[in-house]
Amino acid sequence: MGMKQVVNFICCHLLFRVRYHHLENLENTPRCVIAPNHSSIFDPFFIYPKTSNLFIMAKSELFRHRLLGKLLTRYQVFPVNRNKRDPGSLLYAISLFHSSCEEKQLLLFTEGGVVKKEEDIGKRIRNGAVYIAAESQISLLPVYITRRPRLFSRVDVVFGEAYLIDHNLAKDKPMIREKSKELIEYIYQLKLTLN
């Protein structure tokens, strides 16, 4: 049994009951930046089993533990410093898509970390997902994941429609910021499709 099957069984069936909506939006976008909301440490595990060749941008603090760092690197997780500008991490992410035409997907949480309180939604927005998508000219795929799920409860993962960001905007910081705000709004609007 491969790692994806293990993660799928433990996280998506045993610990939680995950239901996927509009999964075809992911399946039809083999090269993209996957941009979900982020309210639980389990969020990456809900996405991972359904991807083809996934790279994950994760907080650099996780790599301080030597063994954990090696394990994460083995599964194509790479660090980003959330406390200051990290051009090296951005350049690496962009290079993933410039290197070849093969299927590659990048998971990047545009909220920059776990957002626990409802009142904090939209207050912390990172521009990385939009910038990488614009610079690399690959699709941006918004995803809504049930917020703060309890163990053994249902989790809904809703894939929105993938879209492109104009490459010319990559050098326009105010517009990248504006598009990042729009992305967050779109992600949370996906929740409404469940009703």
CATH assignment of the domain containing 94 = 3.40.1130.10
Which residues is 141 bridged to in the sheet? 34
Q: What is the pLDDT of residues 49-97, one digit of tens each?
A: 999 899 999 999 999 999 999 999 999 999 999 888 888 999 999 999 9
- Looking at the 3D structure of the chain, how many domains does it have? 1
pLDDT at position 1, please?
A: 74
CB-count exposure of residue 135 (10 Å: 0-12, 13-18, 19+): buried
The answer, as to whether pTM is greater than 0.75, is yes
- E strands present in 60-186: 77-80, 104-107, 139-145, 154-159
**Selection from 106, 110, 1 nearest residue 55 by Cα:** 106
Give residue 140's domain range: 3-194
Average pLDDT value over all residues in the chain: 94
pLDDT the model gives residue 39: 97
CA-nearest of 106, 103, 162 to 129 is: 106
pLDDT tens, residue by residue, 115-161: 999 999 988 899 999 999 999 999 999 999 999 999 999 999 999 99
> How close are the terminal C-alpha atoms of the chain, in Å?
36
Q: What share of the chain has pLDDT > 90, as a percent?
A: 88
User: What is the pLDDT, as a whole number, of residue 45?
Assistant: 97
Paired residues of 31 in beta bridges: 104
Q: What contacts 58, CB < 8 A, 6 or more positions away?
A: 44, 72, 77, 78, 79, 80
pLDDT on residue 187: 98
Euclidean distance between CA atoms 173 and 117, whole angstroms: 28
